[in-house]
C-alpha cells in the first residue's frame, strides 16, 4: 500500500513537471492564409525621406530630415508574414519616432494579384527626443486586415521589386527584395 501511494505521488509530480507551458513559439491563430508563392517569399523593403533638414538653434545639433519612413514585409512560405514600420518626424525641436512590428497570416491570389494581410499581434513604440512615451502590445480591436494589389518587376539595377498598392490609394509603393 505504501509503495502504491508513493508511486502515485511520483506519477502526479512527474506529470506537473512534464506539462511545462512553452511560450517561446506561440501558435498563430487560425486566420485565413495561403501558401506564399516562391517569387514573393522573403523580405521586401521600402523607404523614403524628405529633402528638408532640421538643425536646433544651436547649429551644432543636427535633428535630422523632416520626415523619414520605412516599411518592410517578410512573407513566409507557410502563409505567415511580418510587417515592420518606422517613421520619424521633426517638428520644431521635437524628434518623434513611431515603430511597430506586426505578425499574422497572409492570403495571396496570384490570378487577381491580390494580397490580404490578417494581423494577429502588433507591438508599437513611440519616442520623443529619445524618451519612450508609449511602448505596448496593440489591442486586437486596433488591428485591421489590409488589402493590396501587386505587380512584380525588376529595377534597372537588377533588383527584384514588388509594387504594392494599398486599397483605396492610387500609387503603388515600391518594395525591393533584400
Asked whether residue 84 is domain-assigned, the answer is: yes
Q: How far apart are CA 165 and CA 2, in angstroms?
A: 72
Identify the residue whose cell numbers are 535630422. 64
Confidence grade of residue 53 (pLDDT, cut at 50, 70, 90): confident
Q: What percent of the chain has pLDDT over 90?
A: 69
What is the mean pLDDT of the segment spanning 116-144? 97
Q: In 3-state terms, what secondary structure has residue 41?
A: coil
Asked whether residue 8 is domain-assigned, the answer is: no
Q: Provide the residue range defining the domain that includes 73.
A: 29-146
Domain of residue 42, CATH code = 2.40.128
Cell of 42: 522573403
pLDDT in tens, 100-123: 999 999 999 999 999 999 999 999
What is the mean pLDDT of the segment spanning 73-88? 98
Q: How far apart are CA 7 and CA 9, in angstroms?
A: 5
Give the total number of structural domains in the chain: 1
pLDDT in tens, 151-176: 999 999 999 999 999 998 999 999 99
Contact 66, 54 (CB under 8 A): yes
pLDDT at residue 28, rounded to an integer: 61
Q: How far apart are CA 24 and CA 21, in angstroms?
A: 9
pLDDT at residue 62, rounded to an integer: 79
Give backbone dihedrals phi and psi of 85, rounded to 5 degrees, phi first. Answer: -140, 140
Amino acid at each position: 500500500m505504501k509503495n502504491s501511494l508513493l508511486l502515485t505521488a511520483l506519477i502526479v509530480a512527474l506529470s506537473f513537471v512534464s506539462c511545462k507551458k512553452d511560450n517561446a513559439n506561440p501558435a498563430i491563430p487560425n486566420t485565413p492564409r495561403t501558401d506564399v508563392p516562391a517569387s514573393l517569399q522573403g523580405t521586401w523593403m521600402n523607404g523614403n525621406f524628405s529633402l528638408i533638414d532640421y538643425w536646433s538653434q544651436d547649429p551644432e545639433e543636427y535633428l535630422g530630415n523632416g520626415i523619414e519612413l520605412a516599411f518592410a514585409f517578410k512573407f513566409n512560405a507557410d502563409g505567415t508574414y511580418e510587417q515592420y514600420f518606422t517613421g520619424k518626424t521633426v517638428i520644431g525641436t521635437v524628434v518623434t519616432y513611431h515603430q511597430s512590428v506586426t505578425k499574422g497570416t497572409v492570403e495571396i491570389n496570384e490570378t487577381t494579384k491580390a494580397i490580404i494581410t490578417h494581423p494577429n499581434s502588433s507591438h508599437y513604440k513611440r519616442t520623443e527626443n529619445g524618451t519612450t512615451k508609449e511602448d505596448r502590445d496593440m489591442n486586437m480591436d486596433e488591428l485591421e486586415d489590409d488589402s493590396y494589389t501587386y505587380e512584380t518587376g525588376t529595377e534597372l539595377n537588377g533588383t527584384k521589386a514588388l509594387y504594392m498598392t494599398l486599397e483605396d490609394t492610387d500609387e503603388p509603393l515600391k518594395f525591393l527584395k533584400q
